[in-house]
Amino acid sequence: AQSVTQPDIHITVSEGASLELRCNYSYGATPYLFWYVQSPGQGLQLLLKYFSGDTLVQGIKGFEAEFKRSQSSFNLRKPSVHWSDAAEYFCAVGEGPEYGNKLVFGAGTILRVKS
């Protein structure tokens, strides 16, 4: 069964600094990979997804992620963090395009932004 590991529970960065959130997955075939963001008291919003093609994918709010098959990773990056990026970030992996019930989420990384 697939699994997702987000090694960092909390990360604190200064406003304007770069950000990288780590995500490692365990899955045999080509996974469908997602990053979601959850602002306090809100639902989850899709930032970006990857399932084929260019391994560097662009998402909303200036985020990007790179799929590295050799490292089983799908790390999320942003060149310059804004205070409004403070939130919890979830990586998720699914089996194939119709993953349905097989979408597995990581435990999440809480991002704090200091001014």
Partner 1 sequence: NAGVTQTPKFQVLKTGQSMTLQCAQDMNHNSMYWYRQDPGMGLRLIYYSASEGTTDKGEVPNGYNVSRLNKREFSLRLESAAPSQTSVYFCASSGFSAGANVLTFGAGSRLTVL
| Distance in angstroms (rounded) separating the CA atoms of residues 88 and 107 | 10
Is 107 among the residues that bind partner 1 (CB under 8 A)? yes
In the bound complex, what is the minimum distance in angstroms from residue 103's beta carbon to partner 1?
Answer: 7
Is residue 59 near partner 1 by the rule CB under 8 A?
no
Q: In whole angstroms, what is the distance from residue 90 CA to residue 72 CA?
A: 16
User: Whose Cβ is closer to partner 1: residue 38's or residue 72's?
Assistant: 38
Pairing of strands 44-50, 31-38: antiparallel
Which of 43, 88, 82, 91 minimizes the C-alpha distance to 62? 82
Q: Is residue 49 involved in binding partner 1 (CB under 8 A)?
A: yes
60 counts as binding partner 1 under rule CB under 8 A? no
Q: State the nearest-atom distance from the C-beta of 46 to partner 1, in Å.
A: 6
